[in-house]
Structures are given as C-alpha cells and as structure tokens.
Structure 1
Amino acid sequence: MTDTTTDGVSTTQAAIEQKLTDSVIASFDNTPDERLKTLMQALVKHLHAFIREVRLSEDEWSQAIEFLTKAGHITDDKRQEFILLSDVLGASMQTIAVNNPASGNATEATVFGPFFTQDAPEIPIGGDLSGGAAGQSCWVEGTVTDTAGNPLAGARIEVWEADEDGFYDVQYNDGRTAGRAHLYADTEGRYGFWGLTPTPYPIPHDGPVGKMLEATNRSPVRASHLHFMVSAPGQRTLVTHIFVEGDPQIEIGDSVFGVKDSLIKTFATQSPGTPTPDGRDLGGASWSRARFDIVLAPGMKTQQPPLSRPKEKTHG
C-alpha cells in the first residue's frame, strides 16, 4: 500500500493542502451577507483546487500576478482589459448562459460587447442606421413576438454595428454617430431597417490579453455580427447578435465565444440593380438582406440594459 493519491501526491501532503483549503473556507463562516459568503467560499474552493490540480509552481504564480498587474495598468476610462479577459476566457458568455436560461423557443442571448451607447438616435421602420458609415448596404427585417407567438407591438429594438473597416463610431475621435439606432416594432410586431453587411474584426490585442492569445495560438478576430438589444413590457430583455452564414471566422472560432447556431443567419447578396424592399435607390450598388425573427422570453419586468463598458479606442 503506497502513501500516494491517484495524482502522485502523498496522502500526507494532500492532507496538509486540504487542511489549508478548509481553514481558508472556514475563515469566511461569519460573513454577514450569505450571498457574499457563498461566493467567497466557492471561490476559495475552486481556486485551491486549480492550484492543486496543476501543481502550480511559484514562478507560474508570479507570472500570473504580473499578467494581472499589466492588465490593471493598461485599463483606463477608454479600455477595460479585465472585461476583455473575461470575454476571451468564456466567462462573460458563461455568465450570460447562467442568467438567461433556455425558455421554450426564445431567442438565445450572447455577449453585450463594449460599444453600446444609451443615446442612439431613433429611426422609423425602414430607416437607415448607417449614418454614412462605410460598407455594403443591408436590409434587415423580422418580427418580435413572445414565446406563444403573440406580436409584441412597440417593442424597442436597439441595433449597433461596426463599419466595413471593423470600427464602431465611438472609436473615432470626431464625435460621429453612425452604425447605431433604435426603432420600435409596429402593431403586428414587425420591424425593418437599413444597415451594413457585418464584417469580421479583431478585439483589442495589443495588451496582455492579446499576448496570451498569441502564446496560445488563438485568433483575436470576432466573427461578423450585428448587435441587438430588444425589450418589451413583461418580457426578459434580450441582448444578442446575429452572425453571417458562411463567414469563415465562425469555423476558426469567435474570439469571445459569442456564436450560437441559432443566431447564424443568411445575409443574401443582391446583385446591382435588384429592387429593394422599400424602393430605395442604391445607385446600382450590390446589397444584402437578412431576416431575424426575435422571440422574447417572459420576465417579471422590462429590465434595464447592461451597464455600458468603457469605450475602446481600438477594436472590441
């Protein structure tokens, strides 16, 4: 009979390590806030389990501290490296999954992203949110309903996207408003607007998170997407994207794990001169069209939008 556990650690050593873990967990026993107590004790349990599982070296721990320190130094009012880290580790998407449980045929949620603003202009149904941003014109239409199929008249639809160079309006220094707007569904829950055909772009990768992606041979590029936030009284607010069917980046991998099969939509390219749905004259240019029917899950109230993140100067 050997004095070792299945991972090759002696039972004596394993007992010493477990005693420390138990002591740290117990140190939070008198936390007045029960939720905080749960969070801290679970954090300790899993952090210690990670350290023990990989047999973390002191040098590796020092490198981890240095990495986090660099993330703190590069973070300012224009950039949040810790949110970026959360995104590329899938923590953001996992939190979304936990907080947006499957509800029948409700549209799936995905990451919020850093470029939502509270003051996007209103456009009418059929309006153009591009605001002069460069890119191929795209017609997007659909309906907003509840899970029973009832139209949600007046549902508020926020939409925002990057231009063909992969930049959002807030990444420019000239105060422009482009590639974003809000509109309201009609009495039958229908909506439609002109925007831009989405294109792929990289998240900020000039900092410690970018170096981590490079070291692990991961792409910083996000799959082509169009952001939506949709709300209606009595329904859970939906934050989601739609992605472009056939985009090679979907197979390579979205850097923040935002892609879900149900959110991949056909953006059908229309030849120059093809009549548009509303008779708009595009000057003989090609354009695309997509359909996105949105189903909101039931909720106790219309939720407030997630907090806006700091506005990046680089891609995100």
Structure 2
Amino acid sequence: MTDYLATPGGLVPAEQRDREEEITRRVLESFEGCADPRLQEVLQSLVRHLHGFVREVRLTEQEWNAGIEFLTRTGHITDMRRQEFILLSDVLGASMQTVTVNNEVHGDATEATVFGPFFVENSPEIDLGGDLAFGAVGQPCWVEGTVTDTAGKPVSGARIEVWEADEDGFYDTQYGDDRMAARAHLFSDADGRYRFWGLTPTPYPIPHDGPVGGLLEMTGRSPMRASHLHFMVSAPALRTLVTHIFVCGDVFLDSDSVFGVKESLVKDFQEQPPGTPTPDGRDLGERSWSRVRFDIVLAPGS
C-alpha cells in the first residue's frame, strides 16, 4: 500500500516527497563552498523558500513557463527611464516589507515607506521657501516643518530631497524629454526648520501598460496610488529616511497599489481659497493653494 503524506498542496506519495526533498538538498549543498557567508545564507534560504513554493502549489510546467515569460517581458520593458522590476516588487509588497525590515521602530522616528521608481540624482537645489515646481502643472502647496532627532534636538543642514507627480499624474521622467520639474533638494536651517513651495499631490496610476499592469488587471487590483509627496532626508550620524506624506481623505488610502500608506504619514493638506495671504507673501492672484506641515524625526544611524 502506497504511503501518502499530507502537504499544503495535498496528499503526496512518500517516495515522491523523498525525490523532491533530495533535489532541494542537492541544490543547498551546491552553495556550501561559497566564500561569502552572507551570500550563502541568502541563496540557501531563497532555495528553501522557492522549492517550498513549487511543492506547495504543485506548480505545473506550463505555469513555470508562464512565469519565465512574464519575467522576460518585465526585463524587456525595463530601461533607464522605466524600472518594471521595481514596480513588480512594489505591487507584491516586497519593497514595503524590505523597507519595514530595514527601518526598525526607534522612539518617535518618522516611519519610512517605499522609494519608488521615479527618484533622480542631481536634482536642482532651491533656497528655503523656494519653488520646486519648475513649470510642472498643479495647485501650489506650501510645505513646512522641522527636522529633529529622536531626542528632540533640531538637525541643521539636513538634506531634504523632494519629488512628486504633477496634477496630471506624471513625473518629469515620464514625459520622454530632458525636463526636470516637481523635484528639488534643500537644506534645513540652523533651527532644523524647512519650507518650500510644491504642488498639492493628486492620485495617479503606476505605469500599467506593461507586464505588471497586466498582472494587476488579471487579479482585479487597481493600479492607483494614493496622493503623495516623496521625501528623502539625510544628515550625518542619523538614519537616512525615505518616506512620503499622504493627503488626508484621499479615496485610495486603503487601496494604495504598492502598500505604502501608513497612518502616521497621512497629513491634513489645508485648502486655501483664492486671495488668502501666503506665508511668504507670494502673490498667487486668483489661484487657490494648500498648505501642510510635516515634522520629520530622524533615527540614530547604525
């Protein structure tokens, strides 16, 4: 009588199980000579989980081939302007989980969230109170706050990188030309304070005309991201923070396609009617604008 063993994927004959475990054992042993202990640890753990996945769902060869074809298409659409693999990591929650693992809770330090695929090096520097729109369309938004450490000490000279989409939901890199807009960096003052003009964030879909978009459509998921403004804040001896702030009341807060929303990062963007005096005396004519406060707390560096 054949001996069957219960697995998450159903009943499997004991002999079949032994054959499958033997393959995993041989692959694990192939990495025993790795000179880098950390690389060995990562690869062997990957093999255990990958083989366990194949066995648990009893993956068919047709499904395996479909997965290979999906990853191939993902590679083909990726270029210097579009990183489809980051999008894939984002929608599977792998990006957010990695961020969470690498940014352990430390007092009241500001929570981190996903980096996203739209950061660009060498953004222009603006003065305190400057405007990072550089021609990008959208409602003006006054952003201000402080940068402190977890002891409450102001952090002067912190580098604050900011980037966002325009009101049409596009980042500058998505336009296919050489524009640089709706992104800049500035530095906190001697008291840790910062301020600038940006754009009121609006919701937008992640690029969904490629393999990742197809995956979302097949699984009934929306590609929409909740309205947000990106920050990356760094200072000597402190942990670099990559985060967003989100607009209170946004309809996509509970269904953000990359799982980036955290309650502590949802802020009140206060709408200001046309004619309301601005904090710096800027004349906006008959345009409405918004304002938000975001106080940033940096954790100690590792």
TM-score (structure 2 length as normaliser): 0.95
Give the total of aligned pairs: 299
Letter in 1 for 2:184: A
Q: Which aligned pairs between 1:19-168 and structure 2 lie closer than 5 A?
A: 19-168=22-171
Output one character per residue of 1:181-228: Cα deviation in whole Å (capped at 9) or x when no partner: 111111111111111000111111111111111000111111111010
Letter in 2 for 1:155: A
Question: What SS does the corresponding residue of 1:257 show, helix, strand or coil?
Answer: coil
Output one character per residue of 1:59-88: Cα deviation in whole Å (capped at 9) or x when no partner: 111111111121122223332222221111
Q: Which aligned pairs between 1:271-290 and structure 2 lie closer than 5 A?
A: 271-290=273-292
Letter in 2 for 1:188: D
Could you tell me which runs of 5 or more consecutive residues in structure 2 were left unpaired when the two chains were aligned: none
1:261 is matched with which residue?
263
Q: Give the drift of 1:2.
A: 7.8
Q: Give the drift of 1:174.
A: 4.1
For residues 34 and 174 of structure 1, the distance between their equivalents in structure 2, rounded to whole angstroms, comes to 44
Q: Give the drift of 1:89.
A: 0.8
For residues 250 and 184 of structure 1, the distance between their equivalents in structure 2, rounded to whole angstroms, comes to 30
- Cα 1:3–1:173 change in 2 (3 A) is closer
Q: Which aligned pairs between 1:211-290 and structure 2 lie closer than 5 A?
A: 211-251=214-254, 253-290=255-292
Percent of aligned positions with the same letter in both sequences? Answer: 69
Following TM superposition, where does structure 1 have runs of at least 4 consecutive aligned residues deviating by more than 3 angstroms? none
Could you tell me which runs of 5 or more consecutive residues in structure 1 were left unpaired when the two chains were aligned: 301-316
For residues 54 and 289 of structure 1, the distance between their equivalents in structure 2, rounded to whole angstroms, comes to 50
Letter in 2 for 1:268: Q
The answer to whether residue 8 in structure 2 is matched with residue 5 in structure 1 is: no
For residues 22 and 178 of structure 1, the distance between their equivalents in structure 2, rounded to whole angstroms, comes to 53
For residues 89 and 174 of structure 1, the distance between their equivalents in structure 2, rounded to whole angstroms, comes to 30
1:303 is matched with which residue?
none
Question: What SS does the corresponding residue of 1:6 show, helix, strand or coil?
Answer: strand
Q: Give the drift of 1:131.
A: 1.2
- Structural RMSD (CA): 1.5
For residues 211 and 169 of structure 2, the distance between their equivalents in structure 1, rounded to whole angstroms, comes to 21
The answer to whether residue 15 in structure 2 is matched with residue 17 in structure 1 is: no
The structure whose RCO (Cα within 8 Å, separation 6+) is larger is: 1
